Amino acid sequence: MGGNAPQAADRRQAQERLHAVLERVRERVPVVVSRRDAERALGALQVTDDLWEVFRLSRAPIRFLCAFLHELILQGLVLPEGAHLRLSPEGSRWVGALGIPPTRETACSRCGGRGVDLGALGEEVMGRFRAIAHDRPPALQAFDQGYVTEETTLARVAFALERGDVQGKEVFVLGDDDLVSIALALTRQPRRVVVVDVDERIVGFIREVANREGLDRVEAYVYDVRAPLPEAWRARFDTFFTDPTESLRGFRAFVERGVAALHGAGAAGYFGLTHGESSLEKWARIQRVLLDLGAVITDIRDAFNAYDNWDYVETMRAWQWLPVRTRPGHLWYFSALFRIELLRTPSVENLALEGNLFEDEEAATT
Ligand code: SPD
């Protein structure tokens, strides 16, 4: 028993230090985080010295992580070395005393943890989609664009097929730099795909591809989510897909318009949500919004959506916060895929919205 006393004291001291670090970070960043967010970051720091890998593995808001890492550097617990970061000997002892294990990744190596077999789509659909996506328009910062990998788009479609949300269905795609509408249409399974985007380049690209590839069930239109949803698209569809910007206001706008496009009970919606730009506090608020809309979450597949790196990394909001300034050399930005299903006919206000939908306290990549 006596031999445990110093260990217990070390642990208590280490915990008090973590508490103090978190308090200092909370004074500086208006993002609600818990001790678990910090623990995940300290788990990640034990297995990588790459900042972007720390972001990926921590599953915590980027704004918090940057402030947390700055504080650890200030206290000598983390050492910046060129483009890298590593725990100092003191930091390693501290993390040991806290009893935080190194991050372990146990996702299935075949499907990457998505739980879908892309082979179900067939080689032709996959090959044609990859060839089409090769010439897509680059991501634009002005619209907070950042598209997912080709594999991710195909996996979304495979997952929705498994849930029966595509076959013979009318599908609404709200914002489509991910080219979900094209992948859906290539399967020849939906009855109709209506795709809308504020970006004329995306709409033009989809129209041109649909024309060239004979995808006559795809209709593409320019639409700004701030405008009320036109009557022709209200309460009409079986399924929607969207991957919103993540300010709470922007997120709500996209998901509420998506829900308003659905016909009622049994209709389904798909969207992505990150940890990097949405704290668990925001996740909770979003879950309340969904319940109020009459929707239930049937599936959450974390880290399902992998995003290709966008060109504007050095002008995005988080660049100025980084503890070491280096461009990412691998995929690092991921989001959970959500599927929701309506329990009743939704009643959604269809008002015009004004102003910037892209920013809130947690926005980091806009
Ligand atoms: N700003 C680049 C990344 C934007 C990705 N938007 C979708 C986030 C997931 N909802």
Query: To which residue do tokens 């642990």 refer?
Result: 11
Question: pLDDT tens-digit profile of 102-111?
Answer: 999 999 999 9
The mean pLDDT of the chain is: 97
| Pocket flag, ligand 1, residue 247 (CB < 6 Å) | no
pLDDT at position 2: 46
| Pocket flag, ligand 1, residue 365 (CB < 6 Å) | yes
| Pocket flag, ligand 1, residue 246 (CB < 6 Å) | yes
CB 299 within 8 A of CB 289: no
Mutation to probe ligand 1, out of 246, 275, 279, 316 (largest number of atoms < 8 A from CB)? 246
Closest by Cα among 103, 98, 177 to 141? 177
pTM of the model: 0.97
Question: How far is the C-alpha of 69 from the C-alpha of 61, rounded, in Å?
Answer: 12
Closest by Cα among 195, 191, 230, 232 to 210? 195
pLDDT at position 10: 95
Q: Which ligand 1 atom sits nearest the alpha carbon of residue 335?
A: 9
Mutation to probe ligand 1, out of 56, 178, 274, 313 (largest number of atoms < 8 A from CB)? 274
Question: How far is the C-alpha of 201 from the C-alpha of 180, rounded, in Å?
Answer: 15
User: From the centroid of its chain, how far is CA 178?
Assistant: 13
Looking at this protein, which amino acid is placed at residue 292? D
Cα of 271 from ligand 1 centre, angstroms: 11
pLDDT at position 1: 44
Could you say which residues of the chain have pLDDT below 70? 1-6
Question: How far is the C-alpha of 87 from the C-alpha of 109, rounded, in Å?
Answer: 28
